[in-house]
Structure 1
Amino acid sequence: MSKVLVVGASGMVGSELVNKLRAKGHEVVRATSKTQLQPDQVHVNLATGAGLEQAFQGIDKAFFLCPPGYTNQHELLGPLIDKAREKQLQKVVLMTAMGANAVEAAPLRQAEIRLERSGLRYNIIRPNWFMQNFNTFWLHGILQAGTVFLPVGDAKASFIDARDIAAVAAELLDSGRFDNQDFDLTGGESLTHAEAAELISQATGKQIRFQDITPQAMLDGLLQAGVPADYAEFLVMILGFLKQGAAERRTDAVERITGRAPIGFAQYARDYRAAWL
């Protein structure tokens, strides 16, 4: 079995991935920006590069993602990819986002290109909007006003469960069947946010609704919440792409890689119902 470095190990995808890799018998090293470390953790500061050399000691394979809050993703991911190449890792799985490859000059696409040209065995996974956004980023509006406030109109999105993303990443790290391929990851259905809110209502017995707001209202709310201006503007921009229909497309990648259909939104809502109560 392999020794796998997981960057973003405490996040929605990373924490699930750690468990799935361990279940497959792999040893996992969790990268963290914290300085108080558990025995299976290493300190890595992607913004400064601190800890990179130590983090890669004895590592066979790695999973990379850029933490939220940054718009210069290529500058944070690039040193990870370079270090993986220097250490001649057996495999790297990089998570970006669906649509990241639409523009070659985009920061996430620049990171993808760097990996593609590294000479390493790799996979790139580009998940669509997470179902778990409803129990994290959009949670405040649901709890305070019973409402999902977003500037997306009636556009549909093929939301994906973070557990499915982790399952895909674990399989790609465990197996070489799909080496040197990239995959757009989606759920099996496309829903409007109003339809998603109705499924949460059914799961919780509470009336949850969706309200369309202006991009400026969204930006103002993010800034008031302390989100850095450049990242707030980035979020509003990609929500605009969602409103234009860019997130509606579905793929069969989850089923092809894991051998099972992706988790449906209704199941997600039942599994996470306690978050909205």
Structure 2
Amino acid sequence: MDNKILLTGITGNVGSAVVKYLKSIKIDFIAGVRDIERGKQQDDSIQYIHFDFQDTVTYETALHGVKKVFLVRPPQLTDVRGIFIPFIQKCKEVGVNQIVFLSLLGAEKNPFPPHHKIEKAIVESEIPYTFIRPSFFMQNLSTTHAEDIKERDDLFISSGKAKVSFIDTRDIGEIIGRTITEQGHKNKAYTITGSQAITYYKVADIMTRVLGRKITYSNPSLFKFRKDMIKRGIKKDFATIMMILYLTTKLGMANHVTNTAELLLKRKPRTIEDFIKDYIDIWQ
């Protein structure tokens, strides 16, 4: 394969959507995973290779012959200098000619999340890049916050009255697949949002209607949110990052709406109502 593609993070919401899209258009790829046998148990139709961000020995074989990389930062890894810069340098060394990086809405202006430093390191490497900067994932409601909704009928999220331009990870995955396989996306940064911005009060109203029971938005303080997340087993560093992200929404940094998703998808992105209807079984 002339444009051999390495995918990281395929078990996540976005990564799995990238896999689904590439399969749908019959594009070959390899998936870098820490546990190949576990990967095969989940999907034995994928070509796997052993890869671990924290083990530099795995970089050489995983990147052999690779020209394009889809890069996802595992949430628990925050050491940009010790982990991601060496990986990016290895990409440069072996001749990778495009890194598609799953970044963060506003990462170019927000120095706190690791995504900011990773973007900077990729630019400095001079490897052609595509930065995907999505707004908040709709799928956060079906993963991180699913238990609160299912067991307590509550959106336990600290975003005040701010509006959020939610995007479905299935749409993000297709966009990433397109930027990897289509021409014209090198050295571009795309801010990806849904077609409207709404409050979590509105999300609760839509869930109430679709699920057929009252869902509330409790809107805890940022510190109560972080404290409770840690009590539930979320690591402190990740709970802090979540808190900072919700602070950015309170400050109005997630209310921006672009038409970029529609342009790249060549159709309207999914709405929050589409999402809730598709995932309804998770909260029943």
Q: TM-score, normalised by structure 2?
A: 0.91
Asked if structure 1 preserves the Cα contact closer than 8 Å seen for 2:150 and 2:282, the reply is no
Asked if structure 1 preserves the Cα contact closer than 8 Å seen for 2:157 and 2:220, the reply is yes
Give the structure 1 partner of residue 230 of structure 2: 223
Name the CA shift for 1:176/1:77 in 2 (closer, same or farther; >3 Å).
farther
Give the structure 1 partner of residue 217 of structure 2: 210
CA positional deviation for 1:35: 5.1
| Higher mean displacement: 219-228 or 33-42 | 33-42
CA distance in 2 between partners of 1:239 and 1:72 (Å): 22
Amino acid aligned to 1:101:
E
Answering whether residue 72 of structure 2 is matched by residue 65 of structure 1, we say yes
Unaligned runs of 5+ in 2: 41-45
CA distance in 1 between partners of 2:81 and 2:135 (Å): 19
CA positional deviation for 1:83: 1.9
CA positional deviation for 1:17: 0.3
Q: Percent identity among equivalent residues?
A: 25
Asked if structure 1 preserves the Cα contact closer than 8 Å seen for 2:36 and 2:48, the reply is no
CA distance in 2 between partners of 1:241 and 1:104 (Å): 12
Answering whether residue 162 of structure 2 is matched by residue 155 of structure 1, we say yes
1:46-125 equivalent positions in 2, closer than 5 A: 46-73=53-80, 75-103=82-110, 107-125=114-132
| Higher mean displacement: 9-18 or 223-232 | 223-232
Name the CA shift for 1:3/1:203 in 2 (closer, same or farther; >3 Å).
farther
Name the CA shift for 1:50/1:224 in 2 (closer, same or farther; >3 Å).
farther
Amino acid aligned to 1:12:
N
Q: Secondary structure at the match of 2:29?
A: strand
Asked if structure 2 preserves the Cα contact closer than 8 Å seen for 1:74 and 1:108, the reply is no
CA distance in 2 between partners of 1:147 and 1:104 (Å): 31
CA distance in 1 between partners of 2:30 and 2:276 (Å): 31
Asked if structure 2 preserves the Cα contact closer than 8 Å seen for 1:204 and 1:273, the reply is yes
CA distance in 1 between partners of 2:101 and 2:84 (Å): 9
Q: Secondary structure at the match of 1:176?
A: coil
Give the structure 1 partner of residue 18 of structure 2: 17
Name the CA shift for 1:238/1:75 in 2 (closer, same or farther; >3 Å).
farther
- Quote the RMSD (CA, aligned, Å): 1.8
Q: Secondary structure at the match of 1:182?
A: strand
CA distance in 1 between partners of 2:276 and 2:80 (Å): 31
CA positional deviation for 1:140: 1.2
CA distance in 1 between partners of 2:120 and 2:88 (Å): 10
Give the structure 1 partner of residue 43 of structure 2: none
Alignment partner for residue 195 of structure 1, among 189, 196, 202? 202
Large movers: runs of 4+ above 4 Å: none
Residues 32-64 of structure 1 show CA distances to partners (whole Å, capped at 9, x for unaligned) of 222535361122221333421111123221100
Asked if structure 1 preserves the Cα contact closer than 8 Å seen for 2:113 and 2:241, the reply is no
1:113-262 equivalent positions in 2, closer than 5 A: 113-262=120-269
Q: Secondary structure at the match of 2:19?
A: helix
Amino acid aligned to 1:111:
I
Unaligned runs of 5+ in 1: none
Give the structure 2 partner of residue 4 of structure 1: 5
